[in-house]
Structure 1
Amino acid sequence: MVITCVVDYTIDPAETEAFEQFAQAWMRLVAEHGGIHHGYFLPAEGASDRALALFSFPSLAAYEQYRARFGVDPEFIAADRIRDASGCVLRYERTFMRPLLPTDLPGHSG
């Protein structure tokens, strides 16, 4: 079963450029380690301190293999260093969801 991780960030609006660098690094790493990144969604209108990220792995086990690299893999450490050095992320919350896609609907032929 596909698992999608939704990360809700509170960011420092003064550090949006650093957050974008952080996001670009993680989009690449997710893709290189078996996931599909659906993108980061940055403030445009309304609250300027909220951002979201969504990415999927084919299973919870695949996600856990990816997570095992945190704090160990030099590329993962470097990506987190962008966040830590800039202070661009003030807080984040991770939620795991199961997607229901149009291709899952009865009668879908595509």
Structure 2
Amino acid sequence: MVTCVIHYRVDADKLAEFEQYAKLWISLVNKFGGQHQGYFLPSEGDNNLAIAMFTFASLAKYEEYRNASFADEDCQAAFEYAKQTKCIQSYRRSFMRPVFGE
């Protein structure tokens, strides 16, 4: 199991647009077999940082999703929405493995 953690630097004046973008991707990740844990938007502190976390059974399954997303019409519309609104300034991905209690 692998969890993709995306750290976003967002335009603080476009949080509503970023939230709309986030809502689009939650269902898209799930559509491709992932399990989305949600997006986390600024509340207190830094007003331009957001995080997303979603899990796939393996890194190979994540790669399948990633490749399929480039050919999927709904995914392309979500990419285009972010581009048009310029709500995302930058992002970086990390991959983690979860540890659960006994």
Common fold by TM > 0.5: yes
Counterpart of 2:87?
A: 88
2:7 aligned counterpart, secondary structure: strand
Deviations 1:40-66 (A, max 9, x none): 000000110000000000111111110
Q: CA deviation at 1:32?
A: 0.9
CA distance in 2, matches of 1:71, 1:35: 16
Asked if residue 78 in structure 1 is aligned to residue 77 in structure 2, the reply is yes
Q: How many residues align?
A: 102
* Contact 1:3–1:56 (CA under 8 A) maintained in structure 2: yes
Give TM-score, length-normalised by structure 1: 0.90
CA distance in 2, matches of 1:82, 1:62: 25
Structure 1 runs of 4+ aligned residues shifted over 6 Å read none
- Percent identity reads 42
* Contact 1:4–1:56 (CA under 8 A) maintained in structure 2: yes
Counterpart of 2:6?
A: 7
Alpha carbon RMSD of aligned pairs, Å? 0.8
Deviations 1:58-100 (A, max 9, x none): 1111111100123321111001111100000000000001111
2:68 aligned counterpart, secondary structure: coil
Q: CA deviation at 1:21?
A: 0.8
Q: CA deviation at 1:37?
A: 0.4
Structure 1: 5+ residue stretches without partners:
103-107
Structure 2: 5+ residue stretches without partners:
none
CA distance in 1, matches of 2:59, 2:78: 22
Counterpart of 1:32?
A: 31
1:69 aligned counterpart, secondary structure: helix
